[in-house]
Structure 1
């Protein structure tokens, strides 16, 4: 028995098993521990905005205007309550994201329809596409004065360039991305420019990154994909061309340097880094037809065609899903309105990709 125990002891010495402390992992040799970069770990997004890796751990930080919650991971906006702008067929709804209090900003006649929306905090105006009259209109958020930007156009999606003072839109039928100078509109001129129309089949949604001079759009005609180019149409490239069915809407989350999209064919919300890497799909059970998507803080919001609802969930996990708005009318475009978007964009928000 004694000899047997000696042999077992010698055998265990020969097959040493190494283990690492939390925050470290074994290298391929199986004998050396190395630091785990939690910020870059596949499938892990531990922070709302900025993740800083440290030896054996990591820390989260927030951009100006946001504060880190007690959980050490979540960034919450300070100041006035953020508002979700929702186009609901014949009206423009304002929904407080803290209080859930609702208010109507604008209504249109039954022969018109509010489809896509965006806002300009610099000029304190909300813009929308009117499908019935084939025009883009605006309303002042303080005086409620209304006006028309341009007439006789078809637009699937509009976006405001708050730095260059331009308004962009996509025409899926013509296969074009167009723009108009807002400064010219206020002088009574409505001449617009075609930014891009070469090899554009059926653009569906558009998002702008004025800080970096970039635009992103989804293509649903032919091969579905998400593309990127300069805001003048230059330096064009395909960003994402895998795992897409019908990307109906895209939204940028510049605080975490990601792009989100809704996919009507695959019934999901997708996300990726702004260089096209790190693609993640959140499969949504019981959802039939996501139409428009928006992102704010730790949540992603979308309008649902079949159930005529606006819903939200955690943008990284898909958990805590909830219905915010349910109407008999059809919800379309979404945008989150926050005064932080007026004061926060700075060089610190420029994307970390070259």
Structure 2
């Protein structure tokens, strides 16, 4: 018995001395999965994040317990009063069961077909609605699909851990990704080059670097910030020193977007299915109805290259697209769970949107709605606004549930929380980014704020006392560059022009070539690549003939001269040229001057 007790003591000591969590939390404690630690039960569902993974706050039930998000509106009552499955919470449409859907390699399939993260299996907390993720926990999980780990899996007394090589880092408990040295350091405002351990910064076209601060400043007109409110559209400087109303008749705290080239704003009144436009160039403030859609608009984005308008509708669960002149419109992506925000990168041909329903996430697709890809699924609760940092190719979002602003690259990697709850992020509404700062509107404090886009520092409240603030957009030409763009989806670039047809079953983006003139003598056509190559070949042959003739004449006339002798030792030896101290410049057979 003594050796057995000693062995048990050694195992417990070895486990705890390496920073691992105990096998079970004590009575009155709650288990945090990612940090592998215990917190007091009174901290669960207290409105604050105490676990590193936010598990103590996920989908807190309206009754006596804090439920995992997957247990809310899953068709099975977990709360004693049944409110986790109430129509008020779940609505009339329930998410479809995943019984017929295969789980990803990094996921565990529950007995009822539900998919959860593999790292959640055997953590002494049931995440499957049937509790099957806590069955057969005495086995080595690493023996089954490597535990869902992309690289190294280490079996533990309780569950398992995923590990990454030194040049990679762990994402989402199971996946390893390469470390981008530039984004890891996060010191460059825009362009960054990492070479031999050194980082150098530069600015994109249209920007100049401040020699003192190394910040990238936009050329041209001073940028202006426009936001919506219950008392109309308002405009302010980026420092908040001057705020003006664009007209009380342009009221409504809804989403807003802009076509910067002609200084036109597009916005939707909150709770209504109408999209309007107005010019802010000083000529006229006449409001015009552009589109009527079937349900209220929750997000807006302008494609300035293809002259398209994208919007999200939470009620219909869709992303729509239409022409900026309102002549055509259609639903592009359907079957979404409370889509809340949308933005577009037409230069790369990518569309982004967020869902804030029962399963919050951020996705992307081609601008034709094809090739969907999920970017963010973990530690996101209610994403309500999206914006792009074009020079750095980063996607930012504001999350009301986590009270934070975060970013990823366009592939969903290199995630970083930039701004965390600071008293001015309790209910973010709109989001924009320009130069070195991120800007947002906030509902609880009725304000417009900004902070450093790298680390959330330099917080500044630009304006306050805004009645029901809404969306926000920044007007500056450099934010919408006229660059060669993708035609509908990444990888398709048109030589001349991309034409969009919204009427077919799915939108058609196609390259259009200029018409060939009927009378080619009126205007010479542009030479093709084959013609150019042919001309180069002809000139090369002519030049070679001239060089050979020149060399023959030069060799014949140089024999009587005594100032230079040219000879070959043997046919296999290289040509040897003996240079005189002075004399005429002669050409070798290769055409180089001797």
- 1:319 matched to 2:460? The reply is no
Corresponding residue SS for 1:270: strand
Match of 2:238 among 85, 88, 97: 97
> Match of 1:228?
364
- 1:168 matched to 2:310? The reply is yes
> Match of 1:276?
412
Displacement of 1:42 in angstroms is 6.2
Structure 1, unmatched stretches of 5+, are 1-27, 29-36
**1:113–1:132: 8 Å Cα contact kept in structure 2?**
no
Instruction: Give distance in 2, aligned partners of 1:96 and 1:215.
Output: 29
What per-residue deviation string (whole Å, max 9, x for no partner) do you get for residues 277-316 of structure 1?
Answer: 1111132222311122111111011111111111100011
After superposition, the Cα gap between the structure-2 partners of 1:301 and 1:328, relative to the gap in structure 1 and judged at 3 Å, is: closer
Match of 2:332 among 195, 200, 206: 195
> Match of 2:257?
118
Corresponding residue SS for 2:479: helix
Instruction: Give distance in 2, aligned partners of 1:98 and 1:64.
Output: 24
- 1:179 matched to 2:315? The reply is no
Displacement of 1:216 in angstroms is 0.3
Q: TM-score, normalised by structure 1?
A: 0.80
Q: TM-score, normalised by structure 2?
A: 0.49
Please, which moves more after superposition, 89-98 or 69-78?
69-78
After superposition, the Cα gap between the structure-2 partners of 1:96 and 1:328, relative to the gap in structure 1 and judged at 3 Å, is: closer
- 1:108 matched to 2:249? The reply is yes
Instruction: Give distance in 2, aligned partners of 1:230 and 1:333.
Output: 24
Instruction: Give distance in 2, aligned partners of 1:131 and 1:288.
Output: 20
Aligned residues: 307
> Match of 2:348?
212
Instruction: Give distance in 2, aligned partners of 1:316 and 1:132.
Output: 34
What per-residue deviation string (whole Å, max 9, x for no partner) do you get for residues 304-343 of structure 1?
Answer: 111111110001111110100102401110111102234x
Displacement of 1:98 in angstroms is 5.0
**1:38–1:53: 8 Å Cα contact kept in structure 2?**
no
Displacement of 1:195 in angstroms is 0.6
Instruction: Give distance in 2, aligned partners of 1:165 and 1:64.
Output: 22
Match of 2:276 among 134, 137, 140: 137
Displacement of 1:150 in angstroms is 1.5
> Match of 1:13?
none
Instruction: Give distance in 2, aligned partners of 1:152 and 1:340.
Output: 31
> Match of 1:329?
467
Displacement of 1:56 in angstroms is 4.5
Corresponding residue SS for 1:122: helix
**2:263–2:475: 8 Å Cα contact kept in structure 1?**
no
After superposition, the Cα gap between the structure-2 partners of 1:162 and 1:252, relative to the gap in structure 1 and judged at 3 Å, is: same
**1:114–1:128: 8 Å Cα contact kept in structure 2?**
no
Displacement of 1:46 in angstroms is 1.2
> Match of 2:4?
none
Q: Say which one has the larger Rg.
A: 2
Match of 1:157 among 295, 299, 302: 299
Corresponding residue SS for 1:331: coil
Instruction: Give distance in 2, aligned partners of 1:178 and 1:289.
Output: 26
Instruction: Give distance in 2, aligned partners of 1:99 and 1:323.
Output: 8
Please, which moves more after superposition, 221-230 or 91-100?
91-100
Instruction: Give distance in 1, aligned partners of 2:407 and 2:458.
Output: 18
Structure 2, unmatched stretches of 5+, are 1-165, 167-177, 492-594
Structure with bigger RCO (C-alpha 8 Å, 6+ apart) = 1
> Match of 2:383?
247
Larger relative strand fraction = 1
C-alpha RMSD over aligned residues: 2.4
